[in-house]
Amino acid sequence: MSGPLSDLRVIDASTVLAGPLIGQIMADFGADVLKVEHPERGDSLRNHGPHRDGHGLWFKMVGRNKRCVGLDLSHPDGAEIFLQLVGSADVVIENFRPGTLERWGLGWEVLSERRPGLVLCRVTGFGQAGPYARRPAFGTLIEAMSGFAHMTGTADGPPTLPPFGLADSVAGISGVAAVMMALYHRRATGEGQVVDLAILEPLAMALGPHIVEWDQTGRIPTRSGNRSTNNAPRNTYRTADGRWVAVSSSADAVARRTMELVGRGDLARRPWFSSGAGRAAHADEIDEAVASWIGSRSLAEAVEAFTEAEVALAPVYDAAQYVNDPQVQARGAVAAVEDPDLGTIRMQNMLFGLSATPGAVRHTGRALGADTDEVLAEAGVSAERVGSLRAAGVVA
């Protein structure tokens, strides 16, 4: 183990993405994370998304650095074994519908009695209370309800959903912060607590001041494509060699230098140019100038010129271009990890750098039940009992 969390044990009994991502990040930074899955079905993330040679690639990433235990929590014997594991845990992560753990005899009162000081992170679409608490929810529904889809897409087009797990990812990263706050409180007081993480709320927070704007002005932000309603130029533009670049100029000085660079310094001297809102109102004129200049130059020429002028431009990358970017490589932002099934796998590295306790990707997501015997032995469960439980389908 390496990293600042190497003294913590976490039980990740969640599925798919938001909860497992909390466990992945904590494992990356050294926590001993036990991935507890149904002994037959496992985490559905194992079969979700892209595959190679029958192996789910998403789980290879999100399951990394975890020890995998197959255990049926709905079976009384499985619940008993789970409580034994909880006895040495600091954090439990779950994303069952509200009331499910209680039905299995594993509610907060039972868990906290077994392990005083425990932090129980409960991840659901809409939270533990309220009229929608028991509704099933996937990230797509959250991206719709949060306001994200309403704000995303072209002005005359339909609401647009992301092609990846945005809501779950934002919630997972937020969940790490919530768990660490609860652990900080425990360090000061000895008290554990429940983290009630609704996937809806972190994404709504990530959208910025759209609620404050509606509350204070009555305006509801609408779709504006790649443009910003607060500034210009801000868009994507195509180069002469068929690549795309993004330009942003949130600062007034950057916007002026951009227009000087593209040969339209006259626009920067117009009265309306001195404010972001003024520039946004004249985005057609600004975009035409920027698009014409970029469209007559190659990607390399555009990047060099914008860099020298100290204005903001970046190429639009696909996955391969990101991995091969010199800045990404210099940062070590992509890790190459050996996998017993697929050989070397490249994936995103640590979420952030720590100078003294950086953490590491130690291994990829392991097979269902790969560590059951080891983990249960550590919990004091005899090999004979494990064998009988396995025969009964309670463990894998």
Tell me the C-alpha distance between 166 and 62, whole Å.
Answer: 15
CB-CB contact of 332 with 353 (8 Å): no
Tell me the C-alpha distance between 363 and 64, whole Å.
Answer: 6
Tell me the C-alpha distance between 225 and 50, whole Å.
Answer: 29
CB-CB contact of 107 with 101 (8 Å): yes
User: Which backbone phi and psi does 4 adopt, to 5 degrees?
Assistant: -70, -15
369 Cβ contact partners less than 8 Å away, ≥ 6 residues apart: 37, 39, 68, 69, 70, 395, 396
- Residue 271: DSSP 8-state: G
Q: Tally helices (H) and strands (E) across the chain.
A: 19, 13
State the CB neighbour count (10 A cutoff) for residue 346.
11
User: Which backbone phi and psi does 289 adopt, to 5 degrees?
Assistant: -70, -45
Tell me the C-alpha distance between 39 and 16, whole Å.
Answer: 16
Dihedral (CA of 167, 173, 179, 182) sign: negative
- Residue 12: DSSP 8-state: E
User: Which backbone phi and psi does 91 adopt, to 5 degrees?
Assistant: -140, 140
CB-CB contact of 164 with 183 (8 Å): no
SS3 295: helix
> From the candidates 28, 32, 90, 168, which is the catalytic residue?
168
User: Which backbone phi and psi does 209 adopt, to 5 degrees?
Assistant: -90, 30
- Residue 371: DSSP 8-state: T
Residue 12: active-site member: no
Residues belonging to the active site: 168
